[in-house]
Structure 1
Amino acid sequence: MEQGIIRIAASTAQPLAIDATQNADLLVASCLAAAAQGDIAAYYDLGVAYSTGSHGVGCDLIEAHKWFNLAAVSGHAESAWCRADIAEEMTAREIAEAQRRAREWLSAGAKRAA
């Protein structure tokens, strides 16, 4: 599942002297930058990172749901399954918060594009 994150990290020029924590931070930063450009794979990769608590981020199902939701509505089929899977572990309030955050992300993106 995490191959997409590794793919994004491999495409960035990172010095070999970076420790594992810095590398994980750069990985997430790379994904966030790609997501800001509308990269659907980055949305999915962020969902994976937050749902598993990997790559320097803690497990956060609200954030994971948000990113899987953004990927799913952009046409990434596997994200819809992942979103449904983690939704089973979330309360209705948590899902509503994740949906609010996804709408907020989309709104901010529309403002950036204008």
Structure 2
Amino acid sequence: MAADKGLADAQAKLGYSYSTGEGVPQDYALAHMWFNLAAAQGADKAAENRDIVAKKMTRDQIAEAQRMAREWKPAK
């Protein structure tokens, strides 16, 4: 819920969960998206973690993750 509201630390934690499959199905595109959103707000190590995940993804997956991040809107 906190990640959906735009809290950077929660977004980074959700990115980690998706990158490892901890508590959620592993999904590198969603991990990249959440890390990207957190990095845009200056969350510690979010950009570094996004780049690590990107190395495991295809160009199409990265493009999809970037599109999702651009289109994401915080929950009200």
Asked if Structure 1 and Structure 2 have the same fold, meaning a TM-score greater than 0.5 normalized by the shorter chain, the answer is yes
Q: Which has the higher contact order (CA 8 A, sep 6+)?
A: 2
Paired with 1:78 and 1:40, the residues of 2 have a C-alpha distance of 11
Q: Which ranges in structure 2 are unaligned for 5 or more consecutive residues?
A: none
Paired with 1:36 and 1:63, the residues of 2 have a C-alpha distance of 13
- For residue 52 of structure 1, what is the aligned residue in structure 2? 20
How far the C-alpha of 1:104 sits from its partner, in A, is 1.3
- For residue 41 of structure 1, what is the aligned residue in structure 2? 9
Letter in 2 for 1:70: L
Runs of 4+ in structure 1 over 2 Å off: none
Letter in 2 for 1:71: A
Paired with 1:67 and 1:94, the residues of 2 have a C-alpha distance of 14
- For residue 3 of structure 1, what is the aligned residue in structure 2? none
Candidates 48, 54, 62, aligned match of 2:29: 62
Q: How many residues align?
A: 76
User: What does 1:1-114 align with in structure 2 at a 5 Å threshold?
Assistant: 33-55=1-23, 57-105=24-72, 108-109=73-74
Please report the TM-score for the alignment, with normalisation by the length of structure 2.
0.91
Please report the TM-score for the alignment, with normalisation by the length of structure 1.
0.62
Q: Percent identity?
A: 47
